[in-house]
Structure 1
Amino acid sequence: MATFNRFEELPVWQEAIKLADEVYNLTEGPDWKGSYSLRDQLERAALSVSNNIAEGFERGTTSELLVFLYIARGSAGEVRSMLCFLEHRSSFANFKPQISNLKSTAESCSRQLRAWADHLQNTEIKGQRHLNEKSRKQYQIQKDAAVFKKKLRESLPEGHPLKRGSE
């Protein structure tokens, strides 16, 4: 799995920025037919996805990151809900393809956020704030050991009981 040092490097953050940018393209266009409050809510929810990813990433603990990932996912769902509403409004009939693309982008963000959250829930790493030299070395030793075991299993002859991964 890739390691990222800045939230701007995260594929899900990049997708979330794309979502916000495309929402703003819709709402700032001359053909926007929605009320100010709908526009404001849609823009805020869209921008909230990337902002919560960034804030969670910068917090420094896995538990805080998870909270913000779920908030971001909730915002992506809020965007999709509003887009579904727009799809049903006759005044937005000419925006069907754009709305469909926006929904796909929001769904992509949701899927990525869910996968990342699932991964984080199954890790023993508590986050950057909790890492010190000793824990970094221990983590690296465990990682190296796993790679070594995998290579060792691959070098065993077919049919060997350890070849299947049992220990």
Structure 2
Amino acid sequence: MATIHRFEDLEIWQLAFHQTKDFDLLVETTPLAKDYELRNQMNASSGSVMDCIAEGFERSGNSEFKNMLVIAKGSNGEFRSQLYRCLNRKHIIQENFNELYLKNDMLGRKIMTFIQYLQKTEYKGQRYKKEESSNQPQTSNLKPQTK
């Protein structure tokens, strides 16, 4: 896997960002705009997905990143559940639901795949890089001082 230097380069963050854009379009074009409670919940859960991915990445340690990805995956599931409420309240039609559901499901699967990758890798994260190198035995060939 290539080294990623910015969270914006992660495919899962990009997909989460597009999910929030799709949600914003939904608010602009459907009766969801007037269902303030559901709209605000969906805004929070969709935003949480991308924000947790970004926060986990920026913590620079795989353990913290994995924990934040688990939270992101949970928020993604929360958003998917809220899509059902949108459909049930007739804020969206079945076709819109199906499209958003498939994108959301794919994002959830990709987050899980990335979590599994991080569990298998031995790299602990940028935050531990100095620590790992400083744990190496130090040797020197100092000559004894003589008078």
- Above 0.5 in TM-score? yes
Equivalent residue for 2:98, pick from 100, 105, 118: 100
CA shift for structure 1 position 13: 0.5
Q: Given the superposition, is the C-alpha separation of residues 119 and 9 from structure 1 closer, same or farther in structure 2, using an over 3 Å criterion?
A: same
CA contact (8 A) 2:53 2:72 kept: yes
In 2, distance between residues paired with 1:100 and 1:85? 13
Structure 1 residue 114 corresponds to structure 2 residue 77: no
Cα-Cα RMSD: 1.9
TM-superposed CA distance for 1:126, in Å, is 1.2
Correspondence for 1:68: 68
Partner deviation per Cα, 1:48-74 (whole Å, 9 max, x = no partner): 111100000000111100010001000
Q: Secondary structure of 2:29's partner?
A: coil
The whole-number CA distance in structure 2 between the counterparts of 1:128 and 1:104 is 34
Structure 2: gaps spanning 5 or more residues: 137-147
Separation in 2, partners of 1:3, 1:48: 24
Encode CA deviations 1:68-123: one digit per residue, 9 max, x unaligned. 0001000100010011222233x23x532222211111111111110010111112
Task: Give the deviation of 1:133 after TM superposition.
Answer: 8.9
Give 2:46's aligned amino acid: A
Q: Which residue of 1 aligns with 2:129?
A: 131
TM-score by length of 2: 0.83
**What secondary structure sits across from 1:132 in the alignment?**
helix
CA contact (8 A) 2:33 2:39 kept: no
**Ranges in structure 1 where 5+ consecutive residues have no aligned partner:** 139-167
Note the 1:1-167 alignment, pairs <5 A.
1-29=1-29, 31-32=31-32, 35-89=35-89, 91-92=90-91, 94-132=92-130, 135=133
**1:129 alignment partner, SS class:** helix
SS in 1 for 2:52: helix
- Equivalent pairs, count: 134
1:28 aligns to what SS in structure 2?
helix
Instruction: Return the offset for 1:18.
Output: 0.4
Where has structure 1 moved over 4 Å in runs of 4 or more? none
